Amino acid sequence: MAPVAPRSGEAVFASVERVNAELFTLTYGAIVRQLLTDLEEVEEVNKQLDQMGYNIGIRLIDEFLAKSNVSRCVDFKETAEVIAKVGLKMFLGVTASVTNWDADGSSCSLILEDNPLVDFVELPDTCQGLYYCNILNGVIRGALEMVSMKTEVNWVRDMLRGDDTYELRVKLLKQVPEEYPYKDDE
């Protein structure tokens, strides 16, 4: 069978089933609120959000690969483009732009103009250290780990903290070669 061409983010997003954006945003808000009430320490909440995102990411990658038909990315540059244009579009309905590549191509910034998680959100003074969208870090990190890339993802700019846009810095730490659970010669 001829290989199926990869679908654009728009095409995939148009074909998946959808839910109301507000339900999604409000549910995420309820989650953050629960975490703040339980954990009280903003750093703990950040860590927990990242962990939850990681759990989501390791499962999300399967669905992403199944629905989008992207072929194996040649290098990290392509990976970043695919995340920004196809991945984010497919799940969140927004795209990001990829900028600020560093010299050896291992680290870049994803700029989100539109962030669906933060509609209607303002951070009160008591939560100033909170990275509200930290779940995204975990999702990207988890998803990339399942395709053999160990990464570090951090927020550089966050509108809820007063910056002018959302900027995520994604840094490739190393490519882990795939390990098979069985030996070839057995």
Partner 1 sequence: MIGVGKIKQYSNVLEKPLSRESRSLSAFAFLFSEMVQYNQTQVDNIAELERRLEDAGYSVGARVLELLCNREKGNRRETRLLGILSFVHSTVWKVLFGKVADSLEKGTEHEDEYMISEKELLVNRFISIPKDMGAFNCGAFVAGIVRGVLDNSGFPAVVTAHFVPMEGQQRPRTTILIKFAEEVLRREARLG
Residues in the chain: 186
Give 107's strand partners.
171
Cα angle value 73/83/53 (rounded, 5°): 120
Q: Supply the minimum distance, in Å, between the C-beta of residue 21 and partner 1.
A: 5
Nearer to partner 1, 81 or 119 (CB): 119
Check residue 34 for interaction with partner 1 (CB under 8 A).
yes
Q: Which stretches within 41-133 are classed as H helix?
A: 42-68, 76-82, 88-92
Q: Supply the minimum distance, in Å, between the C-beta of residue 162 and partner 1.
A: 5
Using CA atoms, how far apart are residues 178 and 186, in angstroms rounded to an integer? Answer: 18
Q: Supply the minimum distance, in Å, between the C-beta of residue 46 and partner 1.
A: 14
Q: Segment 101-130, which members bind partner 1 (CB under 8 A)?
A: 113, 116, 119-123
Return the closest-CA partner of residue 131 out of 106, 167, 107: 167
Check residue 181 for interaction with partner 1 (CB under 8 A).
no
Q: Supply the minimum distance, in Å, between the C-beta of residue 175 and partner 1.
A: 26
Applying CB under 8 A, the site for partner 1 has a residue count of: 46
Return the closest-CA partner of residue 143 out of 49, 62, 86, 74: 62
Q: What is the per-residue binding string for partner 1 in 130-159, x denoting contact by CB under 8 A? A: -----x-----------------------x
- In this structure, the dihedral spanned by the alpha carbons of residues 72, 96, 42 and 19, taken in order and rounded to 10 degrees, is -90
By CB under 8 A, name the one of 11, 42, 52, 146 that touches partner 1. Answer: 52
Check residue 91 for interaction with partner 1 (CB under 8 A).
yes
Using CA atoms, how far apart are residues 87 and 26, in angstroms rounded to an integer? Answer: 22
What is the contact surface with partner 1 in residues (CB under 8 A)? Answer: 13, 16-24, 26-31, 33-35, 38, 48, 52, 55-56, 59-60, 63, 90-93, 113, 116, 119-123, 135, 159-165
